[in-house]
Amino acid sequence: MTIAQAHKVDPRRASVAIAQPQSKDARLRAAFAALVSALLVITMLVTITPVRAQSAPPATFADLVDQVGDAVVNITTSSLVASRQGPGPVVPEGSPLEDFFNDFLDRQGPDRGPRRSQALGSGFVISEDGYIVTNNHVIEGADEITIEFRAGFTLEAELVGTDPNTDIAVLKVTADAPLPFVDFGDSTAMRVGDWVMAMGNPLGQGFSVSVGIVSAAGRALSGSYDDYIQTDAAINRGNSGGPLFNMAGEVIGVNTAILSPTGGSIGIGFAMSSAVVTKVVDQLREFGETRRGWLGVRIQDVTPELADGLGLAEARGALVTDVPEGPARLGGMEVGDVILTFDGEAITDTRGLVRIVGERAEGQTVPVEVVREGKPEILAITLGRRETAEGMAATSPDGQVVPPAPKQVLGLTLAPLTDELRAQLGLAAGATGLLIEAVDPASDAATKGLAVGDVITEVAQQPVTDVASFQASVETAIENGQKSVLLLIRRAGNPRFVALSLSN
């Protein structure tokens, strides 16, 4: 019998078999077979349908390089620096080395004047009429800036404006024909693990390309406006100011810094995000300088202990510690307010608030949501200009303190302010509060950094003038089941909130 024949069935016999009822064992075997078949189908579906589709790495980056490469430039700067000044080597008169050093100095020339110093960096063209973005530290102090294009020609550049806070500078060149340029992309859309490509002039090896991924986002190094993309794409000296591209050929960062014990790339590079850079560039092109919004408050982060003392459900926002003369005071903001949203954007910490305020324009009126003594309020505040405010110096004198009649609460030895103490501390004649005369080193106050000479002006967001009222506020907090009590202290004129534990 052939295989084909083995599977041939007489229709009449088949109909009979179908018409007959199955035995119990036959039904069990059929059910088991159906179950196995279903499990096989499910296994196949899981195998061929992953939980999340993953894009394959590009076979080549060459097309992307061709697309954007002509807009990336090498930057050479030149500046006049003074020669080293100061006394020469001290050689005792009559020493056998005297003639040697005299001959050496004579060979250097009788008049060693200033010399020119050169530096290299990178940049990229953002408009066909010749605007170029780079780092401020690439061109800082330069009196000559030369731009070299991949096509082989060079142009002299003029400085449009700089922003040291974000290390961004804008240059301008004039060309006979429209220049190739690149657009900015949305850095906030980048995810950790996305492909990126860096281009620039590393170590003077012009028009080099390196690729990698986004290693992290939202990194802060040292500035108030930091929002760095971290990447493992190789970035070295000379890459500064160059672009970091996404796979669409859009600039999502400006290569700025590396973390390295050797000075060379170890795969930890940082590019200032386009979300920050685009706003800075727009202002530099329009005004030649930045014009950031200014709220005019001193603030600190809300810790879990501060949140408990303030009666907040979660530890977020920016706690106002001082409201000097300025936009916030005019808008009705008070010490102890917790800023939760600014112009509709949620505030998680002080750094976020500073950055968001700086992105708004001088003179703009914005809604600010605060919590004041447990109740929400909406304030309308017209912003000032930060650059103007930063030019105002504010100093507070220190003084040695001899407080009278000290008493101890929560590990703090306290005394009320007197006219003599106010004068020593440089406080206003009517200033109120309690002076910290000593701190128990085993107390939570010592752990939180309170020190002799600090002045406590508020307890539980209420003004305090004597030790008795301080003690009463502490007892009330304990009775209410609070784990901590909120203090507002001033040190050398600078205010900050501290939440002291009530458990010791």
* Cα separations in angstroms, 174 against 254, 310, 495: 23, 58, 51
pLDDT of residue 13: 39
Tens digits of per-residue pLDDT, 464-481? 878 877 887 887 777 677
**Is the CB of residue 336 less than 8 Å from the CB of residue 458?**
yes
**Is pLDDT larger for residue 453 or for residue 159?**
159
**Is pLDDT larger for residue 471 or for residue 268?**
268
- Whether pLDDT at 19 is above 90: no
Q: How far apart are CA 339 and CA 198, in angstroms?
A: 38
Q: How far apart are CA 347 and CA 357, in angstroms?
A: 11
Mind telling me the catalytic residues?
Answer: 137, 167, 240
Under DSSP, the state recorded for 127 is S
Q: How far apart are CA 382 and CA 295, in angstroms?
A: 8
pLDDT of residue 91: 45
Domain 407-501 adopts which CATH fold?
Answer: Pdz3 Domain (2.30.42)
Tell me the mean pLDDT in the region 341-345: 94
Strand ranges in 164-276 using DSSP code E only, listed in sequence order: 168-172, 195-200, 208-219, 228-231, 243-245, 251-258, 269-273
Does this chain's domain 293-389 share its CATH topology with 407-501?
Answer: yes
**Is pLDDT larger for residue 225 or for residue 80?**
225
> Angle at Cα 448 formed by Cα 442 and Cα 450, nearest 5°?
85
- Whether pLDDT at 77 is above 80: yes
Tell me the mean pLDDT in the region 278-286: 95
Please provide the average confidence, as pLDDT, over all residues in the chain: 81
3-state DSSP assignment of residue 208: strand
pLDDT of residue 228: 94
Q: What is the homologous superfamily of the domain 293-389 according to CATH?
A: PDZ domain (2.30.42.10)
Q: How confident is the model at residue 55 (pLDDT cuts 50, 70, 90)?
A: low
Minimum mean pLDDT range among 7-16, 288-297, 311-320: 7-16
pLDDT of residue 130: 96
b/e map 401-415, b = 16+ CB within 10 Å:
bebeebbebbbbbbb
pLDDT of residue 338: 95
Q: What is the CA radius of gyration of the chain?
A: 35
**Is pLDDT larger for residue 59 or for residue 233?**
233
Percent of the chain with pLDDT over 70: 77
Tell me the mean pLDDT in the region 193-207: 92
Nearest CA to 139 among 122, 115, 155? 122
Tens digits of per-residue pLDDT, 85-143? 445 444 454 545 555 556 655 555 555 556 667 788 999 999 999 999 999 999 988 88
**And the tokens for 36?**
């196995």
Tens digits of per-residue pLDDT, 143-199? 899 999 999 999 999 999 999 889 999 999 999 999 999 999 999 999 999 999 999
Q: How far apart are CA 320 and CA 334, in angstroms?
A: 7
Tell me the mean pLDDT in the region 201-218: 92
pLDDT of residue 491: 85
Second-level CATH architecture of 62-81+114-288: Beta Barrel (2.40)
Q: How far apart are CA 269 and CA 226, in angstroms?
A: 14
- Whether pLDDT at 61 is above 90: yes
- Whether pLDDT at 436 is above 80: yes
Domain ranges for the chain: 62-81+114-288, 293-389, 407-501
Dihedrals φ, ψ of 200, to 5°? Answer: 170, -155
Torsion angle of C-alpha atoms 397, 403, 409, 411, degrees rounded to 10: 70
pLDDT of residue 311: 86
Tens digits of per-residue pLDDT, 368-387? 999 998 899 999 999 999 88
pLDDT of residue 15: 36
